[in-house]
């Protein structure tokens, strides 16, 4: 572990917390008083600092801006009713971060820096964790290449940062989803399993076009046959068909392995569902809809947790759902929130105390 002395801490002169309206916290808009910043130089991480949240000074030739060696994570911290601060499954995000780093030919970030750095940063900005129900502190670790050379090659230097954003309940209206046929998010052998910045830039045109048609997001299909469902925006997807909870399998490397996905599988199993991770075709989904066995469809992700889908459109075929009658997705959402906010026992060791 990096001892506390190895992280230089410079405190902000005054806190911005008093200016924050806790009743109006849109996702990702406000940032806490401090941030963590570290440099990878000469083969090792150094200049590890926690300091007042501030702009970065970057060269126009900065490699990340040109060739996109950039990755990120999304994690949440909560307070229990006694005021103790916890982070939800931070080690899962830590491991995933380094999987993304490896795929993008970036250096790995050691546990001391990622976990201990995050712990110290949050300990310092603990008052920024909202205590109200369904509120949390969103944690955004990220890394980008920082060589100042416009040559296409992996950078020798990188920056790793963590910033914190207090966030209110996600606008949780059930979604209308457009099954995407033209654009593709990820192909086997590509970078779909990595939380790499370019994956999101590459997806924006498709979601903008879906929005124009009146949909909230697209459901991506596989790149080869355009037949198997993959995931939605920054969410994995689950279909409850009969007594099975089905979610696409990960072995093609085209889907992001969500921490909420894995947590949901544990709880859905506990609810008595048979969990199936396997290829799921749009034909099978339409058949299940027609025969009445398709009971619920929802997305899972850190930002929105569980997000119900009230409409799914494939070509001219529209599937509509009476989400008000659903039991599973609302129960799953409540169960997860109860564990995260300390109202229900954490049997699985998911909550990591700060």
**Binding residues for ligand PLP, per CB under 6 A?**
74, 195, 231, 234-236, 256, 258-261, 300-302
Smallest distance, Å, CB 81 to ligand PLP?
25
Question: Looking at beta carbons only, is 115 or 259 nearer to ligand PLP?
Answer: 259
Cα 140 to Cα 63, 164, 292: the distances in Å are: 21, 6, 41
**Cα distance between residue 222 and residue 258, in whole Å:** 18
Question: Looking at beta carbons only, is 34 or 333 nearer to ligand PLP?
Answer: 333
Smallest distance, Å, CB 56 to ligand PLP?
23
Beta strands in the chain (DSSP E): 8-9, 34-41, 44-52, 70-72, 75-79, 85-88, 136-145, 158-167, 175-179, 217-221, 229-232, 236-241, 244-247, 274-277, 294-301, 305-314, 317-320, 351-353
Residue of 222, 207, 174 lying closest to 319 (CA atoms)? 174
Residue of 67, 77, 76 lying closest to 104 (CA atoms)? 67
Smallest distance, Å, CB 55 to ligand PLP?
25
197: tokens are 């910045």
Question: Looking at beta carbons only, is 168 or 301 nearer to ligand PLP?
Answer: 301
Smallest distance, Å, CB 176 to ligand PLP?
19
| 3 state DSSP class of 201 | helix
Do 175 and 134 form a contact (C-beta atoms < 8 A)?
no
Residue of 132, 114, 106 lying closest to 75 (CA atoms)? 114
Question: Looking at beta carbons only, is 122 or 194 nearer to ligand PLP?
Answer: 194
Question: Looking at beta carbons only, is 93 or 155 nearer to ligand PLP?
Answer: 93
Smallest distance, Å, CB 312 to ligand PLP?
17
Question: Looking at beta carbons only, is 48 or 197 nearer to ligand PLP?
Answer: 197
Smallest distance, Å, CB 163 to ligand PLP?
16
Do 299 and 232 form a contact (C-beta atoms < 8 A)?
yes
């Amino acid at each position: 572990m990096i001892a506390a002395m190895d992280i230089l801490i410079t405190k902000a002169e005054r806190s911005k917390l008093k200016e924050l309206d806790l009743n109006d916290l849109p996702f990702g808009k406000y940032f806490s008083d401090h941030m963590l910043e570290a440099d990878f130089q000469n083969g090792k991480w150094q200049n590890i600092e926690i300091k007042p949240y501030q702009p970065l000074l970057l060269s126009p030739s900065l490699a990340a801006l040109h060739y996109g060696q950039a990755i990120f994570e999304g994690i949440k911290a909560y307070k229990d009713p006694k005021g103790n601060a916890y982070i939800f499954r931070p080690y899962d995000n830590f491991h995933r971060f380094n999987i993304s780093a490896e795929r993008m030919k970036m250096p790995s970030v050691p546990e001391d820096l990622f976990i201990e750095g995050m712990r110290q940063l949050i300990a310092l900005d603990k008052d920024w964790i909202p205590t109200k129900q369904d509120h949390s502190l969103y944690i955004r670790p990220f890394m980008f290449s920082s060589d100042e050379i416009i040559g296409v090659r992996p950078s020798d230097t990188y920056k790793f940062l963590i910033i914190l954003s207090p966030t209110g309940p996600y606008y949780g209206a059930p979604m209308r989803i457009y099954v995407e046929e033209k654009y593709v998010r990820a192909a086997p052998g590509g970078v779909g399993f990595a939380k790499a910045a370019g994956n999101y830039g590459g997806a924006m045109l498709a979601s903008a076009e879906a929005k124009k048609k009146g949909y909230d997001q697209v459901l991506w299909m596989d790149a080869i046959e355009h037949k198997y469902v993959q995931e939605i925006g920054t969410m994995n997807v689950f279909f409850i068909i009969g007594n099975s909870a089905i979610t696409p399998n990960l072995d093609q490397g085209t889907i992001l392995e969500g921490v909420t996905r894995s947590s949901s599988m544990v709880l859905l199993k506990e609810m008595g569902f048979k969990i199936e991770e396997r290829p799921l075709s749009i034909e099978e989904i339409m058949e299940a809809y027609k025969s009445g066995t398709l009971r619920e469809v929802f997305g899972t992700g850190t930002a929105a947790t569980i997000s119900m889908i009230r409409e799914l459109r494939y070509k001219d075929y529209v599937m509509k759902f009476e989400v008000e009658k659903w039991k599973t997705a609302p129960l799953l959402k409540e169960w997860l929130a109860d564990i995260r906010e300390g109202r229900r026992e954490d049997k699985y060791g998911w909550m990591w105390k700060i």
